[in-house]
Chain A
């Protein structure tokens, strides 16, 4: 999805609305609260134009990964001060901690690679995003 928000909490709200609208999440308030709690403790903007907002919450029934982009960039208070153009949101139920940690670890490893970031920035559809992840996961 292409995002309109320009600031991190507004971006999280927009992602939450998207997830509720698509019935990916059940409880709007619960999901937003969990993601905002994590975000307020320390930014999930990891630099190089990437943000990975994430939380464990029973507002979702299964592990969820949402990919979004912002051409203008979102201020995630990233460590390098740069706006985030690629946003991966990860949410999982409380009882799926292991899968949640593994998903975050795999994604973080992939996103440290500049070619992967560039490919994701230029991907033209969701299928292409999945292919980029799969290809680089091997």
Chain B
């Protein structure tokens, strides 16, 4: 079994608990790790309507938190000698993931099991592991 390209999809900072197993898996399979964070406009708008916070402040905070997560994965991956690329995208998660599967020939998706990631299990054309 070979997985040359693995995609780790991150939703928020609670995903930190899956960084180590994801990196160890990549190390074991000698895979290249693509780490993806998606800024979803509709989620940001929803959050703004609940919190009454300005939409730009929320967007800025979520994007920065996303980058922090991406760089945390990278820091640990570098220590483990795992090739890693970081990706911040705007759009709908399922569409962005579908594009990544095509453009980067991803072989396996890693995600944290949660309500929001159920749709990825259902819609993915390649194996998905929930950590």
Contact = CB atoms under 8 A, between A and B. Distances in A.
Nearest to A107: B67
B85 A101 contact: no
Interface string B40-54: 000000000000000
B78 interface: yes
* Interface SS of A by simple majority: helix
Interface in A64-110: 79, 97, 100-102, 104-106, 108-109
Contacts of A128: none
Contact of A106 (B64, B77, B85, B88): B64
Interface stretch (A5-13, A21-29, A34-42): A34-42
B131 interface: no
Interface of A: 37-38, 41-43, 46, 56, 79, 97, 100-102, 104-106, 108-109, 112
A101 B83 contact: no
B68 interface: yes
The residue in A37, A46, A105, A112 that gathers the most chain B C-beta atoms within 10 A of its C-beta is: A105
A41 B60 CA distance: 29
Contacts of A106: 64, 67
